[in-house]
Structure 1
């Protein structure tokens, strides 16, 4: 149905238009009663207050309405009114109509907003919601933490703040209840389709379509007052056809505004000729019909781009996403996306390289259109193109951090200009802003099941980019989820080598956050996978890590057993560096267990291994630990002689900090031998080496664990 096609080569303007088509209304129309009801709900006494008890949890307000009714817009307006903030202030995300900031109202810590439903309609897991809230509060979340731990951190963080927490598009009470903090400092404002049965002391503020007068004024804002004034009755009829839904009205208004010669009567007739989607619920049909009318009025290429935006990860797209999906140039895709904004089909931020958002109420309708009009093979090809483009952008994002003249930078120079970043700062900003959609793209690729090779490449590229720009420690929460996705693909495809690598990475992150027993279980599973794949590196690393986990748990006999197994494999492979490291680990656990003879032999073997490798600093550290063991064993004179040998090696290596640390250890040994004068000379030497004795003393303390291990 294309009786009047739009080429979307540039946004049209109708005569007398006060605001651009698709513009967000500067004030909320027709919702004064609902705003008053929400305000009164805050002021009314809660059940606990009536019963004479202090309110144990945050107050919860609910805006209930069907998609397209403007429930999110109402929640945003009310939240920012309470907080005394502007929706554009404090922006930290791609489309942050609600973001933390300093407010001037009753909630000076501003507004936080998270969406509890994915664009595809799936509920967002509590782990992701909690991590998003902690991220908005600039708080780190431990990688691999479960939902209970993360929601507990959210409640604890919110308990000391005064802000409005908007939980948009909640599915049920189970999504809301775990996030409610104790105390009255936070107001929780949820939006949902129906009541949230299970959340105590909450009354829904139910909204439907706009009243006729407000809906007509909304049309006039977009299309201009003149076209409304000449035919007011038809405008009212158009409102009835749209069910008063603001989202449907804005789509029809965008259709009118793009056609300077079209009247309201033309739009009404066109809308009536557009067939209803009987597969949709009755209350969703006006919006579905308005979208179909806007879609069918586009030319073939823009219409296809619009449908393919249903594939945009997390409902977010940029010019590269649209270009890859449709197979067109980046500049043409950007123009088309801007025209969709003018038609009320998308929202965008104000960045130089903007990010576009598919409204949540339109995402499932676009997906239905995509399934109706496009063949699965074409859809799969478009998704593959998008993921391939994302991989190339991530490679570029990482390569820009490499030194000039490196192979990665030479490869980067050969890429098209549109795929290159001006510098590391621009790439880091792109990565930060695009991260939600990048992670969503990885999840989507894994869930697809037919694009596992692309999924693995995408995840690998994202991991490298995060490590390059953030560092592995700062990126650990994101990396944990990505390694989990790799594990899903490896288990589905029976890829033992990849399964071993993913399990090792996950176990390392578990160990780094103190979940040693969970790490131990994963290291054992990685060992089994490595043996299945006949991967000597994975099996050796897994055995060494199993030993480390047992050592952390204080089970030194098992730790030494596993270190011994790993050492036997390194000896068979001729891996001298690995041998020296494992001798050191064995020396440490034997010392902890009080087996000083075994510990000394292993530290001596470690020192010999480092000597053969020509690594003087590591040799000095190993001898230093051997001296410590000799002291524990009651052989102070031997300890003094070994420590002096270590100092000489550090001096030869010209490692000033290590030499100073060893001088201090030597001084401590001399003190215990009853020679304070010599000890004082060695402390003075350490102070001269570093200029400050405190820094050297901090370096000296290794607690029996060598630096190189």
Structure 2
């Protein structure tokens, strides 16, 4: 069956399902009955204008326009079909509809052997695969997804799509806008449908029969992701999020913890240089422990040292011992900004609980102790603690037990102190003002 037969079969199915005769369809669309008959038999190709008219009169919701778009794609030369069109010097012509949108991978990516092993085991050609990489801010979720995507892109001959789902202001990017960018890459120069439902349907249609990799970075919630999922077997979707996307029931969860001590040390040595780190191995270990083994914090601290080649590593570790907010201010407050964007999405009760719970000393916190601190019942306390877990602001190593990353604890203390000093109003306590004290090294 040719691509034109596929469209004709779909048109006939929709028409008969609606109880519309070929003559009635001709009168409704103002196309001749003979032409419509030849389209339905596959003898003639449908135009986008015909598909639009039939969509409207049959109430197909964009299905026929999507089918015409697929027909155009299939009929065009493909980069992986050497029998079709060639470019200069006999090379295969580049397929303009084969996107390659992956950003550059981190050059100093280290470790993550177990996470990479799990990702390598994911692709399943008989169905769509979705993997949700979650973890607290700064754990390197994007770096992992992009690193693996570059490594595995040859498995997806039809291309790679990439979208950031959080805008520069931290607010979620609407799915209809993301789909507009994806469809623009797949159908350059083609007018796109306006609604989310139509764009989502067209996206699924275009990916039908293709093997593509889709990377969705920084998702805010499952509702934002669902319209962006293809339905075709052979496609794989990587989603990164600080939220644990439990609403994506078919997704493989991949929680990403901080680095191991060895990985964090290797990252620091890659940025600072092996000679300097080899002179002070103890100071390097203390540095990465002060960073809580968090990749973003390690990279920020190491970058400060790389920019000061005459400094000893111990010069910075001493300052970190004296000022537990220093890491939050490095790199223009990059770490504080990353923490803030997750904090701002909390409910008011969860934000209040975070400021009270996170700074507490001790490796583990029981629900009963949290209930006392928060002045709530055990059930209420557990509910708000679980909200913090879902936001990757707390971890739960066992039922009823919780712990907080030390850098998140320092961030929470900063919030609490500023609120107490009046630097944050109660009504705007979700916002963390820019650090008043500049970085002093």
TM-score by length of 1: 0.32
1:519-530 alignment, distance < 5 Å? none
Give the equivalent residue in structure 2 for 1:29. 110
| Larger RCO, structures 1/2 (Cα 8 Å, 6+ apart) | 2
Give the equivalent residue in structure 1 for 2:227. 178
In structure 1, list runs of 5 or more residues that go unmatched. Answer: 1-22, 46-53, 84-104, 277-288, 297-302, 311-364, 375-709
1:158-187 deviations in whole A, cap 9, x for unaligned?
Answer: 224221100111111111212222221311
Structure 1 pair 79/24, CA: closer, same or farther in 2 (3 Å)? Answer: closer
Distance apart, 1:60 and its partner CA: 0.4
In structure 2, list runs of 5 or more residues that go unmatched. Answer: 1-103, 341-413, 415-429
Q: 1:66 is matched with which residue: 136, 149, 154? A: 136
Give the equivalent residue in structure 1 for 2:148. 78
Give the equivalent residue in structure 2 for 1:662. none
Contact 2:207 2:232 in 1 (8 A): no
CA distance in structure 1 between the partners assigned to 2:324 and 2:249 by the alignment? 43
Larger radius of gyration between Structure 1 and Structure 2: 1
Structure 1 pair 295/125, CA: closer, same or farther in 2 (3 Å)? Answer: closer
Give the equivalent residue in structure 2 for 1:109. 158
Structure 1 pair 117/295, CA: closer, same or farther in 2 (3 Å)? Answer: closer
Give the equivalent residue in structure 1 for 2:97. none
Contact 1:113 1:166 in 2 (8 A): yes
Distance apart, 1:222 and its partner CA: 1.3
Q: 1:148 is matched with which residue: 183, 197, 202? A: 197
1:146-545 alignment, distance < 5 Å? 146-276=195-325, 289-295=326-332, 371-373=434-436
Give the equivalent residue in structure 2 for 1:130. 179
Structure 1 pair 235/107, CA: closer, same or farther in 2 (3 Å)? Answer: same
CA distance in structure 2 between the partners assigned to 1:41 and 1:106 by the alignment? 12
Give the equivalent residue in structure 2 for 1:475. none
Contact 1:134 1:140 in 2 (8 A): no
CA distance in structure 1 between the partners assigned to 2:190 and 2:234 by the alignment? 22
Distance apart, 1:24 and its partner CA: 7.0
> SS of 1:113's equivalent?
strand
Contact 1:80 1:111 in 2 (8 A): no
Distance apart, 1:75 and its partner CA: 0.4
Distance apart, 1:144 and its partner CA: 7.0
> SS of 2:155's equivalent?
coil
1:498-553 deviations in whole A, cap 9, x for unaligned?
Answer: xxxxxxxxxxxxxxxxxxxxxxxxxxxxxxxxxxxxxxxxxxxxxxxxxxxxxxxx
| CA RMSD across the alignment | 3.1
Contact 1:35 1:78 in 2 (8 A): yes
Task: From the two aligned structures, give the one with the greater helix fraction.
Answer: 1
1:38 aligns with 2:119: yes
1:553-606 deviations in whole A, cap 9, x for unaligned?
Answer: xxxxxxxxxxxxxxxxxxxxxxxxxxxxxxxxxxxxxxxxxxxxxxxxxxxxxx
Distance apart, 1:136 and its partner CA: 2.7
Distance apart, 1:64 and its partner CA: 1.0
Distance apart, 1:272 and its partner CA: 2.8
CA distance in structure 2 between the partners assigned to 1:68 and 1:30 by the alignment? 15
Distance apart, 1:33 and its partner CA: 0.6
TM-score by length of 2: 0.50
CA distance in structure 2 between the partners assigned to 1:260 and 1:181 by the alignment? 49
CA distance in structure 1 between the partners assigned to 2:331 and 2:141 by the alignment? 22
Aligned length: 243
